């Protein structure tokens, strides 16, 4: 038995002196194992091909399996998780509880470093990381540079520090009164007097007989004692209310601040395997399937202890898999014509198969092309094309979806036998054919809607509008009620036109395609 036929062994050992980078192609030494395949595997592929042919003009029983050569490919692969540490810092007023408290900033850095080191030497933590990967839908299989969140490795550290702004007092001198507790009187501006409110500074007032005499309020001085400060020239500070200090804005009056470091340790996943040990076409399919590969292969994680899963780097975790992929070359016959195909995976994907459906459906495809170019009876040509299941799918997709989504829907329902370019053209031709069928009825619907709307407008503006009460209350915002009624009538007319256009389109499709239009 040569090297290619030896079953792979685990754990693989890299050659001495090799770079520590993650490269399973080097570590596995090119090993892969070719095992026998279940004889019933090819029968599943035959049934799938018959399902594709069914409804497309050929009896599925005329599809036969002429020859099959297959194997179950076994090889090792692995997902490497590179642990990435993100540290964000913030300062919060007061002594915050919740994070792990340490004595200083330096001690906080040491605690973060110890936490990271502890992760890579704790089997339970590594097994939890492994479980996060295995609980994903793709099992972490065939992922590339994908961030994987690890919430249980998110932690906060903190240390308390006295507030420098207030020197740990929680308060600072009032910025308005500079710590005096008083400020200049705003009425007299520190003079102690104000203009006499009775004589307005004239020193005299007019008596009952019209003769001036000295003001009785200020006694002829023209000014009087300030009614606010009562000649003290100062009042209580309006900011600190006489306390001389205000709460420190830096610590919100707590005298302490909390320096918090938020540590988020997450993983970035990389999948690798020895591409040199596999056929080029197998590698191509693996790369195309991406994370969906897990649905097509039997991938069993290799059971290892937490310590054994840690990589050579202190921030790496490996998850190795033993993979089994059934595959093989099949030769089918369709009405005697040979059709080769490469079969891959548990779901018997039909790969590299010629566009057999395009040959079978050629009359229907030509009919759809005629309908798209407007040659002859478009409705009759579409009905002729819809005799083929795949073309029916193309017409229904074009009827309900935009072009790109319609093409994807057609390819999803037609796994093989139809090229991407042909699927795109079928959807394009189907859309044009439907447009040719419905364009004239839609114009009739639009014209009828416009006529009915015009008649309705004439009736409203010449007869009904004049009968609206002129005293209608205004709507919120001051909008006149008549204006809102006018806008409502205009919107109703537009909606009626669109509804008629849609009804005429549906009726045309129903008449042309029957139940398919439903």
Please tell me the pTM assigned to this model: 0.64
- The answer to whether residue 173 sits within a structural domain is no
Same domain, 90 and 64: yes
Helix (H, G, I), strand (E, B) or coil at 453: helix
Pair 348, 48: CB distance under 8 Å: yes
Helix (H, G, I), strand (E, B) or coil at 247: strand
- The answer to whether residue 371 sits within a structural domain is yes
Domain extent, residue 477, equals: 440-517
Same domain, 8 and 140: yes
Mean pLDDT of all residues in 371-396: 87
Same domain, 277 and 325: yes
Rounded CA separation 318/312 (Å): 10
Same domain, 430 and 449: no
- The answer to whether residue 126 sits within a structural domain is yes
pLDDT at 325 over 50: yes
pLDDT at 470 over 80: no
**How far lies 9's CA from each of 73, 76, 283, in Å?**
15, 8, 21
- The answer to whether residue 180 sits within a structural domain is no
Pair 187, 264: CB distance under 8 Å: no
pLDDT at 234 over 60: yes
pLDDT at 8 over 80: no
pLDDT at 2 over 50: no
Percent of the chain with pLDDT over 90: 26
**pLDDT, tens digit (0-9, with 9 covering 90-100), for 299-320:** 888 865 544 454 444 578 888 8
Same domain, 374 and 270: no
Same domain, 137 and 16: yes
Average model confidence (pLDDT) for the chain?
A: 82
Same domain, 116 and 27: yes
- The answer to whether residue 196 sits within a structural domain is no
Instruction: Mark which of 296, 330, 364 sits at the end of a domain.
Output: 330
Same domain, 42 and 122: yes
pLDDT at 329 over 90: yes
- The answer to whether residue 163 sits within a structural domain is no
- Tell me what pLDDT residue 19 has: 37
Same domain, 136 and 279: yes
Rounded CA separation 69/425 (Å): 35
Percent of the chain with pLDDT over 70: 87
For the record, the structure tokens of 209 come out as 């007989």
**pLDDT, tens digit (0-9, with 9 covering 90-100), for 36-93:** 888 889 999 999 999 999 998 889 999 999 999 999 999 988 888 888 889 999 999 9
How far from the centroid of its chain's Cα atoms is residue 249's Cα?
39
For the record, the structure tokens of 484 come out as 């809102």
Instruction: Mark which of 439, 466, 497 sits at the end of a domain.
Output: 439
Q: Which own/partner pairs from 167-173 qualify as long-range (CB within 8 Å, at least 24 positions apart)?
A: 168/255, 168/256, 169/248, 169/255, 170/247, 170/248, 170/251, 170/253, 170/254, 170/255, 171/245, 171/246, 171/247, 171/248, 171/253, 172/245, 172/246, 172/248, 173/244, 173/245, 173/246
**pLDDT, tens digit (0-9, with 9 covering 90-100), for 268-290:** 999 888 888 889 999 999 999 98
pLDDT at 24 over 50: no
Same domain, 446 and 378: no
- The answer to whether residue 277 sits within a structural domain is yes
Instruction: Mark which of 439, 472, 503 sits at the end of a domain.
Output: 439
Same domain, 422 and 444: no
- Tell me what pLDDT residue 312 has: 47
Same domain, 311 and 409: no
- The answer to whether residue 8 sits within a structural domain is yes
**pLDDT, tens digit (0-9, with 9 covering 90-100), for 155-177:** 999 999 999 989 889 899 998 89
- Tell me what pLDDT residue 148 has: 92
Q: Give me the number of domains the chain comprises.
A: 3
């Amino acid at each position: 038995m040569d090297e290619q036929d030896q079953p792979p062994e685990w754990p693989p050992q890299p050659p001495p002196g090799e770079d520590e980078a993650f490269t399973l192609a080097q570590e596995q030494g090119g090993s892969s194992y070719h095992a026998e395949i279940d004889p019933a595997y090819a029968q599943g592929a035959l049934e799938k091909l018959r399902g594709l042919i069914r409804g497309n003009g050929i009896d599925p029983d005329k599809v036969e399996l002429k020859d099959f050569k297959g194997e179950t490919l076994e090889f090792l692969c692995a997902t490497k998780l590179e642990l990435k540490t993100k540290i964000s810092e913030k300062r919060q007023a007061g002594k915050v509880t919740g994070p792990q408290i340490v004595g200083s900033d330096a001690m906080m850095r040491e605690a973060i470093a110890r936490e990271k080191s502890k992760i890579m030497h704790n089997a339970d933590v590594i097994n939890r990381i492994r479980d996060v990967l295995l609980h994903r839908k793709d099992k972490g299989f065939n992922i590339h540079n994908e961030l994987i969140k690890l919430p249980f490795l998110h932690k906060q550290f903190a240390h308390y520090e006295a507030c420098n702004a207030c020197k740990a007092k929680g308060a600072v001198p009032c910025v308005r009164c500079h710590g005096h507790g008083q400020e200049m009187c705003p009425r007299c501006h520190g003079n102690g007097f104000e203009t006499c409110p009775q004589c307005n500074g004239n020193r005299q007032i007019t008596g009952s007989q019209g003769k001036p005499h000295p003001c009785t309020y200020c006694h002829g001085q023209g000014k009087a004692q300030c009614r606010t400060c009562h000649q003290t020239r100062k009042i209580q500070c309006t900011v600190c209310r006489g306390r001389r200090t205000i709460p420190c804005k830096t610590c919100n009056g707590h005298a302490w601040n909390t320096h918090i470091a938020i540590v988020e340790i997450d993983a970035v996943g990389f999948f690798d395997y020895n591409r040199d040990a596999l056929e080029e076409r197998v590698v191509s399919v693996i790369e195309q399937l991406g994370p969906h590969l897990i649905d097509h292969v039997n991938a069993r994680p290799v059971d290892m202890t937490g310590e054994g899963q840690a990589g050579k780097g202190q921030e790496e975790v490996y998850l190795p898999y033993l993979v089994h992929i059934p595959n093989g070359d099949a030769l089918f016959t369709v009405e005697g014509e040979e059709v080769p195909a490469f079969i891959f995976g548990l779901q018997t994907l039909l790969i590299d198969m010629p566009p057999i459906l395009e040959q079978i459906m050629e009359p229907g495809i030509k009919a759809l092309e005629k309908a798209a170019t407007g040659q002859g009876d478009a409705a009759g040509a579409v009905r002729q094309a819809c005799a083929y299941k795949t073309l029916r799918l193309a017409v229904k997709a074009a009827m309900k979806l935009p072009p790109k989504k319609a093409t994807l829907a057609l390819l999803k329902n037609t796994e093989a036998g139809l090229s991407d370019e042909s699927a795109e053209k079928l959807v394009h031709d189907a859309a044009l054919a439907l447009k040719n069928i419905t364009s004239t009825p839609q114009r009739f619907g639009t014209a009828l809607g416009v006529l009915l709307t015009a008649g309705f407008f004439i009736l409203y503006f010449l007869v009904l509008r004049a009968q609206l009460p002129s005293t209608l209350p205004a709507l919120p915002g001051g909008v006149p009620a008549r204006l809102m009624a006018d806008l409502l009538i205009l919107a109703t007319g537009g909606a009626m036109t669109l509804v008629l256009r849609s009804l005429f389109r549906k009726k045309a499709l129903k008449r042309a395609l029957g139940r398919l239009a439903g």
